[in-house]
């Protein structure tokens, strides 16, 4: 893959910040959008806009077809059996809340355990902690090693026959550590526990095959993989989705709502998958934009995305170690992680580092990255985080290191 050619598809990368070329290293927060995605959304509103699954007219048929095609495209991308296993939601956060409330609310009780890790994004902690207040189950936290890798021994010891669901990120949004999901799935399934994988930082960056991983749930966000905000995906095995209660109630998710004049109550039957979980008018143009994003990534090839990011990460790790006052957190070998590098500079807050870099057009993230427990484990008040994607180059890393040298 040629990042220089790819860059031509991203209009925003032509911007200047204080007369400096824009260098976007905040890809773990959200990615930039290629013109193919922008054009697909534009074309939808110009020529095909209508509500889906509601009208017999031409525009409604076209919009419905596009929206269904988007589900098909995503199913193919992660190797799901069919689009019935692909529920469109707002993002990873909503996907995890869907599992908590449409599965957990009905299946978890006092005495049960939900096992999460200390490297979780808050969106894979808070829904479980909230639900445990209602259902009285316990949320257990599996420890991570000092370098931020998962402690598999601790994990194995923490799983028991009380564990009903194991939740973990495939890739940490703080350190970029790639977890061995297959290993965890095997451990969990041996204890009849389900597995929910937070794929927010993996699906955009690695080939992910849900059949090969054998995960029960996979959650991810469109906006972190070139797509628009407000659209994301919950993949779940068909039999699990069939056994679950709906999440939100309303139009689109029902087949029949029949009113019994004697009991004066309605009896309701649910729509087919995946619509049973997509109540109300969905984010149609979001789905269309996501489809364009997935096609864009498929064109490049996810193996190539992974290789490019590994090369950039290895290069950045080497160059950053030239700096005297820098401390890089987490593992320092590019092969065990994705393109995310958390770091600190002695004597400066992470916000100061980010503001200084911003002055020179380099955009990174600073703060806790919605992962406070991991920062507490590292005894850090916050961290600076550089994260890469397909349009980033070695020259941008050189410039980033040059600016960091100015700070020192
Ligand atoms: C690992 C991880 N999980 C979940 C989320 C939440 O994603 P969203 O805000 O798109 O719902 C993020 C976002 O940064 C993330 O990095």
Nearest-CA residue for ligand 1 atom 16 is 173
User: 261 is written with which tokens?
Assistant: 């004049």
pLDDT of residue 408: 78
The encoded tokens of residue 93 equal 């956060």
Phi, psi of 361 (to 5 degrees): 85, 5
Q: How far is the CA of 75 from the centre of ligand 1 (A)?
A: 20
- Residues 329 and 345: beta-carbon distance below 8 Å: no
Tokens (6 digits) for 110: 């006092």
- Give, for 355, the enclosing helix (H) or strand (E): helix 350-359
Q: Which residues pair with 198 in a beta bridge?
A: 169, 219
Give the Å distance between the CA of 121 and the centre of ligand 1. Answer: 7
Nearest-atom number in ligand 1 for the CA of 221 is: 10
Q: What confidence score (pLDDT) does residue 55 get? A: 86
How far does residue 93's CA lie from ligand 1's centre (Å)?
6
**Rounded to 5 degrees, what angle do the CA atoms 57, 59, 61 make?**
70
What CA–CA distance (Å, rounded) separates 356 from 229?
Answer: 28
Residues 167, 266, 285, 370: which is the catalytic one?
370
CA angle 331, 337, 340 (to 5 degrees): 85
Chunked into runs of 10 residues, the chain (408 residues) has average pLDDT values of 97 97 98 98 98 93 98 98 98 98 98 97 97 98 95 95 98 97 98 98 98 98 98 98 97 95 96 98 98 98 98 97 94 92 95 97 96 93 97 98 93
CA of 30 to the centre of ligand 1 (A): 9
Q: Indicate the top mutation candidate among 89, 200, 227, 374 to test ligand 1's pocket, ranked by most ligand atoms within 8 A of CB.
A: 200
Instruction: Select from 28, 90, 93 the residue to mutate for testing ligand 1; criterion: most ligand atoms less than 8 Å from CB.
Output: 93
Beta-bridged to residue 270, according to DSSP, are 254
Q: What is the CA radius of gyration of the chain?
A: 22
Is residue 102 within 8 A of residue 292, CB to CB? The reply is: no
Separation of alpha carbons 177 and 334, rounded Å: 9
Mean pLDDT of the chain: 97
Question: Helix, strand or coil for residue 354?
Answer: helix
Q: Which atom of ligand 1 is nearest to the CA of 30?
A: 14
Among 88, 117, 123, which is best to mutate for testing ligand 1, by the most ligand atoms less than 8 A from CB? 123
pLDDT of residue 275: 98
Per-residue pLDDT tens for 72-131?
999 999 999 999 999 999 999 999 999 999 999 999 999 999 999 999 999 999 999 999
3-state secondary structure of 21: strand
Ligand 1 pocket by C-beta < 6 Å: which residues? 28, 91-93, 121, 123, 169, 173, 198, 200-201, 221, 232, 370
Alpha carbon of 197 to ligand 1 centroid (Å): 12
Q: Taking Cα atoms as reference points, which of 162, 295, 171 lies closest to residue 227?
A: 295
Is the bond leading into 274 cis (omega within 30 degrees of zero)? yes
Q: Counting atoms of ligand 1 from 1, which one is nearest the CA of 120?
A: 1
Domains present along the chain, CATH in parentheses: 3-25+301-407 (3.90.1150.10), 38-298 (3.40.640.10)
SS3 content of the chain, % helix, strand, coil (to 5): 45, 20, 35
Residue 292's H or E segment, with its range, is helix 284-300
Of all protein residues, the one whose alpha carbon is nearest to atom 12 of ligand 1 is 200
SS3 118: coil
The residue contributing the CA closest to ligand 1 atom 7 is 92
Atom of ligand 1 nearest to the CA of 169: 1
In the residue annotation, 167 being an active-site residue is answered as no
Name the 3-class secondary structure at 144: strand
Residue listed under structure tokens 């890393």: 397
Q: Are 65 and 73 in contact (CB under 8 A)?
A: no
Q: Tell me what pLDDT residue 54 has.
A: 81
Whose C-alpha lies nearest to ligand 1, atom 15? 200
Report how far residue 212's alpha carbon sits from residue 5's, in angstroms, rounded to the nearest whole number: 32
Report d(CA 71, CA 35) in Å as an integer: 21
109 CA from centroid of ligand 1 (Å): 27
Sequence-distant (≥ 6) Cβ neighbours of residue 119 within 8 angstroms: 144, 148, 150, 168, 169, 172, 174, 175, 177, 371, 373, 374
- The DSSP symbol for 52 reads S
94 CA closest ligand 1 atom index:
11
Q: Measured in angstroms, how far is the CA atom of residue 232 from the centroid of ligand 1? A: 10
What pLDDT shows up at residue 358?
97
Largest interatomic CA distance in the chain: 80
Question: What is the pTM for the complete model shown?
Answer: 0.98
- Give the ligand 1 atom nearest the CA of 123: 4
Q: In angstroms, rounded to a whole number, what is the distance separating the alpha carbons of residues 165 and 140? A: 11
């Amino acid at each position: 893959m040629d990042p220089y050619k790819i860059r031509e598809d991203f209009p925003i990368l032509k911007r200047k910040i204080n007369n400096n070329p824009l260098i976007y290293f905040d890809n773990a927060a959200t990615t930039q959008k290629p013109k193919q995605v922008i054009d697909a959304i534009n074309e939808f509103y110009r020529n095909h806009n209508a509500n889906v699954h509601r009208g017999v007219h031409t525009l409604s048929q076209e919009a419905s077809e596009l929206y269904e095609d988007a589900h098909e495209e995503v199913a193919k991308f992660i190797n799901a059996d069919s689009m019935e296993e692909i529920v469109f939601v707002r993002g990873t956060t909503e996907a995890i809340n869907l599992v908590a409330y449409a599965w957990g609310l009905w299946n978890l009780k006092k005495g049960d355990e939900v096992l999460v890790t200390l490297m979780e994004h808050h969106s894979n902690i808070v829904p479980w902690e909230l639900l445990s207040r209602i259902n009285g189950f316990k949320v257990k936290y599996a420890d991570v090693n000092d370098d931020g890798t998962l402690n598999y021994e601790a994990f194995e010891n923490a799983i028991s026959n009380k564990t009903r669901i194991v939740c973990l990120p495939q890739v940490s949004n703080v350190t970029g550590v790639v977890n061995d999901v297959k290993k965890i799935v095997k451990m969990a399934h041996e204890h009849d526990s389900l597995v929910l994988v937070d794929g927010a930082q993996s699906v955009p960056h690695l080939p992910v095959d849900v059949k090969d991983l054998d995960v029960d749930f996979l959650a991810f966000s469109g906006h972190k993989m070139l797509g628009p905000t407000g659209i994301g995906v919950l993949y779940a095995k068909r039999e699990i989705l069939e056994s679950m209660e709906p999440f939100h109630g309303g139009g689109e998710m029902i087949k029949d709502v029949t009113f019994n004049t004697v009991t004066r109550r309605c009896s309701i039957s649910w729509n087919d998958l995946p619509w049973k979980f997509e109540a109300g008018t969905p984010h149609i143009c979001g789905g269309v934009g996501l489809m364009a994003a997935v096609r864009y990534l498929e064109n490049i090839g996810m193996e190539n995305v992974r290789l490019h990011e590994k090369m950039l990460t290895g290069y950045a790790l080497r160059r950053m170690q030239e700096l005297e006052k820098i401390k890089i957190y987490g593992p320092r070998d590019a092969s065990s992680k994705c393109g995310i590098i958390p770091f600190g500079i002695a004597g400066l807050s992470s916000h100061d580092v980010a503001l200084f870099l911003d002055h020179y057009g380099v955009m990174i993230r600073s703060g806790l990255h919605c992962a406070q427990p991991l920062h507490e484990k590292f005894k850090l008040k916050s961290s600076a985080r550089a994260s890469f994607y397909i349009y980033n180059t070695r020259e941008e890393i050189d410039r980033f290191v040059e600016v960091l040298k100015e700070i020192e």
